[in-house]
């Protein structure tokens, strides 16, 4: 039976249809579309692997709902529906970060890609995720140097790039002091800095002493030489200091003895003098 509508019913029906069309446009939030598109572009640049099976666009699934990555494996969104966490630790993922468009994730606070098989270098545009608080790229096969753009991550609380093939030096501009020029950039909020077992070398910059919130500093199994900066005595919250297995030389700075919160001090396998004195204090 074919339904016959009155003019009034037709008008109401047309309005309902208009609303449905309008609402579906509103739901197709362009920001989360951009995030989804960026994630799919990255996925497509990697070898096919099952960890990304849930990362599919509606074109592939005939799913009529707008593209939202919030339910994809490893992705978390904030209340506004924007991606704020990417957690893919220990999945054995093969690939690189070369095609990861960091500029598409202005709300990202957490990026955890530890214990995978990511190779290549850390892209310069990582500096675009300026709200990032946790960056864990440890235990991968990343090479190249630490990009200076990391200085843009002023809210970063934890940086862990341990167990990679990172080369070069620690750039002192990542750790600016109070008197530095405006605008204020640098890893100003760091509590945990872990660069264990990489290929980093050169001097340990004394500017690390500017990281006033630092709790953990782990730089063992690298090629650092020269002295331990006396400025470490300014790190009043420091609990763990591990500089073992480097080529550090000279005296152990007496300023370390003022670190009242230090409970774990490791300086073994270096070329330091007067080891006994400070070890006795730490014990």
CA dihedral 200, 201, 205, 208 (to 10 degrees): 30
| Contact status: 61 vs ligand NAG (CB under 6 A) | no
268: left (phi over 0), alpha (psi -120 to 50) or beta: beta
Stretch that binds ligand NAG, among 19-27, 63-71, 194-202, 225-233 (CB under 6 A): 225-233
Binding mask 226-245 for ligand NAG (x = CB under 6 A): ----xx-xx-----------
Torsion angles phi and psi, residue 229, rounded to 5: -65, 125
Q: Hey, CA dihedral for 184, 174, 257, 255, is it positive or negative?
A: negative
Q: Which CB sits closer to ligand NAG, 68 or 149?
A: 149
| Contact status: 179 vs ligand NAG (CB under 6 A) | no
Contact 114, 87 (CB under 8 A): no
3-state secondary structure of 36: helix
- Candidates 199, 67, 86, 71; CA nearest to 135 is 86
Q: Which CB sits closer to ligand NAG, 78 or 249?
A: 249
| Contact status: 133 vs ligand NAG (CB under 6 A) | no
Q: Which CB sits closer to ligand NAG, 74 or 127?
A: 127
| Contact status: 45 vs ligand NAG (CB under 6 A) | no
Q: Which CB sits closer to ligand NAG, 66 or 144?
A: 144
Binding mask 91-130 for ligand NAG (x = CB under 6 A): -xxx----------------------x---------xx-x
3-state secondary structure of 217: strand
* DSSP secondary structure string for all residues of 117-152: EEESBPPGGGGG-TT--EEE--SS--BSPPPGGGGG
Structure tokens at 202: 């050169």
Q: Which CB sits closer to ligand NAG, 66 or 94?
A: 94
| Contact status: 246 vs ligand NAG (CB under 6 A) | no
For ligand NAG, how many residues bind (rule: CB under 6 A)?
Answer: 22
Residues making contact with ligand NAG (CB under 6 A): 48-50, 53, 92-94, 117, 127-128, 130, 149, 152, 209, 230-231, 233-234, 247, 249, 255, 271
């Amino acid at each position: 039976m074919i339904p016959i509508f009155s003019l009034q019913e037709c008008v109401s029906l047309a309005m309902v249809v208009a609303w449905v069309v309008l609402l579906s446009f509103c739901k197709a939030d362009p920001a989360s579309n951009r995030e989804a598109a960026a994630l799919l572009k990255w996925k497509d640049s990697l070898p096919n692997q099952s960890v990304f099976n849930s990362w599919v666009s509606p074109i592939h699934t005939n799913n009529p709902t707008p593209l939202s990555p919030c339910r994809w494996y490893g992705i978390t969104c904030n209340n506004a529906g924007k991606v704020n966490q990417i957690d893919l630790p220990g999945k054995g993922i093969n690939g690189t970060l070369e095609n990861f468009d960091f500029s598409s994730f202005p709300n990202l606070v957490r990026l955890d890609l530890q214990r995978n098989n990511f190779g290549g270098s850390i892209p310069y545009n990582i500096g675009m995720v300026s709200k990032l608080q946790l960056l864990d790229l440890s235990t991968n096969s990343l090479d190249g140097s630490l990009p200076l753009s990391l200085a843009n991550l002023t809210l970063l609380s934890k940086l862990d790039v341990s167990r990679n093939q990172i080369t070069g030096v620690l750039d002192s501009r990542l750790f600016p002091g109070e008197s530095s020029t405006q605008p204020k950039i640098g890893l100003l909020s760091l509590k945990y800095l872990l660069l264990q077992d990489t290929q980093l070398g050169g001097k340990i910059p004394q500017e690390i002493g500017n990281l006033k919130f630092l709790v953990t500093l782990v730089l063992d199994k690298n090629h650092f030489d020269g002295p331990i900066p006396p400025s470490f005595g300014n790190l009043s919250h420091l609990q763990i200091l591990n500089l073992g297995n480097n080529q550090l030389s000279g005296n152990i700075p007496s300023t370390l003895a003022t670190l009242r919160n230090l409970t774990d001090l490791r300086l073994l396998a270096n070329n330091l003098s007067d080891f006994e004195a400070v070890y006795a204090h730490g014990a």
